[in-house]
């Protein structure tokens, strides 16, 4: 089998149609935002929790497309990323500029201990220098018996 053909097919798999939410480009895999939104909705239904009582942290939120979707659907949303340069919705909800590869992330976790009902981190962990430290931080941020939703890219997408 010739490896060159495999490489070409692998590269072709990454072609996708661009998707937007409220003018913000969705950088994640196709339908990922919808799938995570469905998981959050199911959690609320199964635990009989009103969405306006759920405090969500979208960590490494990018331009804020997913955060805005959650906000538009009645959730309390806070978000953070390493830069606010592309963040589109500063007037809608709290944004914290934070480098999750640095000690400022640890300080953020200590300051906001057990502050969130659901923490969402999409397509982030594969970029981190220390994913174990990140997971410990998420656990510290999350209220007891609540949820951390973490995704990582599919190699075939």
Which residues on neighbouring strands pair with residue 76, listed in sequence order?
55
If pLDDT is split at 50, 70 and 90, which confidence band does 30 have?
A: confident
User: How many whole angstroms separate alpha carbon 30 and alpha carbon 32?
Assistant: 6
If pLDDT is split at 50, 70 and 90, which confidence band does 11 have?
A: very low
pLDDT score of 6: 46
Average pLDDT over every residue of 23-42: 93
Residue 14, pLDDT > 70, answer no
* 77 inside domain: yes
- Per the structure, the complete domain to which residue 18 belongs is given by 3-151
* 118 inside domain: yes
Average pLDDT over every residue of 88-98: 93
Which residues on neighbouring strands pair with residue 20, listed in sequence order?
25
* 36 inside domain: yes
* 99 inside domain: yes
User: How many whole angstroms separate alpha carbon 121 and alpha carbon 67?
Assistant: 11
Residue found under tokens 């939410």: 21
* 144 inside domain: yes
pLDDT score of 15: 61
Residue 8, pLDDT > 80, answer no
* 50 inside domain: yes
Average pLDDT over every residue of 22-47: 93
Identify the CATH number of the domain in which residue 83 sits. Answer: 3.40.50.150
Give per-residue pLDDT as tens, 110-131: 999 999 999 999 999 999 999 9
Chain-centroid distance of CA 70 in Å reads: 11
Q: Backbone phi, then psi, for 143, in 5-degree steps?
A: -60, 155
Beta strands in 7-125 (DSSP E): 19-21, 24-26, 55-59, 76-81, 94-97, 116-122
Residue 63, pLDDT > 70, answer yes
- Total tally of structural domains belonging to the chain: 1
Is 99:82 a contact under the CB 8 Å cutoff? yes
* 156 inside domain: no
* 66 inside domain: yes
């Amino acid at each position: 089998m010739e490896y060159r053909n495999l490489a070409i097919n692998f590269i072709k798999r990454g072609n996708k149609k661009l998707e937007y939410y409220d003018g913000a480009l969705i950088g994640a895999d196709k339908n990922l935002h919808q799938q995570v939104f469905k998981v959050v909705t199911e959690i609320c239904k199964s635990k009989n929790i009103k969405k306006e009582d759920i405090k969500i942290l979208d960590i490494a939120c990018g331009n804020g497309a997913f955060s805005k979707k959650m906000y538009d659907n009645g959730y309390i949303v806070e978000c953070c990323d390493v830069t606010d340069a592309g963040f589109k919705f500063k007037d809608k909800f709290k944004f914290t500029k934070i480098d999750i590869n640095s000690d400022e992330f640890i300080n953020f976790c200590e300051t906001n201990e057990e502050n969130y009902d659901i923490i969402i981190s999409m397509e982030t962990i594969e970029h981190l220098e220390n994913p174990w430290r990140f997971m410990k931080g998420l656990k510290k941020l999350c209220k007891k018996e609540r949820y951390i939703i973490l995704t990582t890219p599919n190699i075939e997408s």
